[in-house]
Amino acid sequence: MAQFSALEKLGITFLAAILFTILINVLKFVYTYVVGPTMNKVDFKSKGKWALITGSTDGIGKEYAKELAARGCDIILVSRSMDKLKTTAEEIEKDFKVSTKIIQANFSDGEDIYDKIGREIADLEIGTLVNNVGVSYIYPEYFLDIPDWKQTLENMLKTNCVSVTRMTGLILPGMLKREKGVIINVGSGSSMIPSPLLTVYAATKAYVDKFTEGIEMEYNKKGIIVQCVMPGFVCSNMSGIRRSSFFAPTAKAFVKSAISLVGTTSRTTGYLPHALFLNAINTIHALTGRFGVWLVTRSMENSRRKALKKYKKQ
Ligand SMILES: NC(=O)c1ccc[n+]([C@@H]2O[C@H](COP(=O)([O-])OP(=O)(O)OC[C@H]3O[C@@H](n4cnc5c(N)ncnc54)[C@H](OP(=O)(O)O)[C@@H]3O)[C@@H](O)[C@H]2O)c1
């Protein structure tokens, strides 16, 4: 039998620990993205006739609406622009043969909108709520230099944090009565990694993450499935990304993946390449400390410079 020195034994133990950690992570990924979605398929229609999606006339929200309609749910669309609401509702009714209801609401407005939404949905059995609406900066910027500072930040807090809280408050009681329901809250990967120059946006999404965690703990045992989805880049108006790539999928591809994870995981990026990307950034950050922050800051400053140049030209 080979004899190992104390140092060699330490090295072998260290290596075994690393290999064990890698193995556990690979198994977690395989369970989350391959085994879980086939084992834990959620029948959204059985949770309640209607699904309500906020910010549902574009991007990720519109794709959630279509995906839930494809699974047989009637759809309530809530957004600001009446034209887009009508067009999206017509498209969904025609393509998926389900009923739709539209509610015009601006989540950066005050209290009144929740009274209005409450009245509109009072008699509807809502089985799925997707708190998707969210706004970010128009370009990455230092906290004190955000354009139209007070208004921008107030809108962001109301749209990203208050909406999730108040919509959950409106719809959860009905779900609890029926002892079933699904709540999906759309956060952002920016709250999981260093996010300089997106400070307030990332902080609002950290709220969504923490809020979801608590709601999941409180109501999971009462039959409510709760999930926080924290995407990386997705092609949309908000991201400004038009062409899809491995790390920036179309909203359709993203939602197809994310919705398949409902019932398997309550906290997810929703999309395997995003999980890999965010893990890589956090590993660099953990290993190199300030260097990781410097890298992210430099990349955000580049985006800021480009955006400012574009805005100056316009
Ligand atoms: N795209 C990404 O790369 C990315 C990454 C991470 C997280 N996210 C999150 O994903 C969610 C959706 O983002 P997205 O990229 O799909 O956005 P998007 O393409 O800009 O779509 C936003 C939707 O929300 C509606 N909306 C915007 N402001 C509103 C307000 N104040 N009141 C009511 N409705 C409003 C818009 O319609 P109207 O203009 O008609 O109101 C539209 O339907 C957000 O929470 C965002 O933070 C996105």
pLDDT per residue as tens digits for the range 241-266? 999 999 999 999 999 999 999 999 99
Average pLDDT, the chain: 96
pLDDT per residue as tens digits for the range 257-290? 999 999 999 999 999 999 999 999 999 999 998 8
Q: What is the pLDDT of residue 147?
A: 94
Residue 272 CA to residue 269 CA, distance in Å, equals 7
Query: What's the rounded mean pLDDT across residues 71-84?
Result: 98
Q: What is the pLDDT of residue 168?
A: 98
Q: What is the DSSP letter of 243?
A: S
pLDDT per residue as tens digits for the range 132-142? 999 999 999 99
In a domain, 262, yes or no: yes
Q: What is the pLDDT of residue 212?
A: 98
In a domain, 241, yes or no: yes
| 294's tokens | 């410097």
Ligand 1 center–CA 98 separation, angstroms: 23
In a domain, 1, yes or no: no
Ligand 1 center–CA 107 separation, angstroms: 11
Query: What's the rounded mean pLDDT across residues 114-137?
Result: 97
Residue 75 CA to residue 115 CA, distance in Å, equals 20
Q: What is the pLDDT of residue 310?
A: 86
- Give DSSP secondary structure letters for 207-236: HHHHHHHHHHHHHGGGTEEEEEE-----SS
Residue 100 CA to residue 90 CA, distance in Å, equals 8
pTM of the model as a whole: 0.95
Domain enclosing residue 213, as ranges:
34-274
Ligand 1 center–CA 288 separation, angstroms: 34
How many other C-beta atoms lie within 10 A of the C-beta of residue 199?
Answer: 16
- Is it the case that residue 111 has pLDDT exceeding 90? no
In a domain, 297, yes or no: no
| 124's tokens | 């509807």
In a domain, 312, yes or no: no
Query: What's the rounded mean pLDDT across residues 1-23?
Result: 90
Beta bridge partners of 76: 52, 101
Q: Is 78 helix (H, G, I), strand (E, B) or coil?
A: strand
Cβ neighbours of residue 50 closer than 8 Å, sequence gap 6 or more: 73, 74, 75, 76, 101, 121, 124, 125, 126, 127, 128
In a domain, 305, yes or no: no
In a domain, 145, yes or no: yes
Q: Phi first, then psi: what are they for 182, rounded to 5°?
A: -130, 130
Question: At which residue do the structure tokens 């809020």 appear?
Answer: 211
In a domain, 214, yes or no: yes
Q: Which of 201, 207, 219, 271 is catalytic?
A: 201
Q: What is the pLDDT of residue 311?
A: 81
Inter-axis angle of helices 290-313 and 272-288, to 10 degrees? 120
Q: What is the pLDDT of residue 1?
A: 59
Counted domains in the chain: 1
Closest atom, ligand 1, to C-alpha of 56: 43
Q: Catalytic residue at 201?
A: yes
Ligand 1 first shell, C-beta below 6 A: 55-61, 79-81, 84, 105-108, 132-136, 159, 186, 188, 231, 233-234, 236-239, 251
| CATH code of 172's domain | 3.40.50.720
pLDDT per residue as tens digits for the range 204-229? 999 999 999 999 999 999 999 999 99
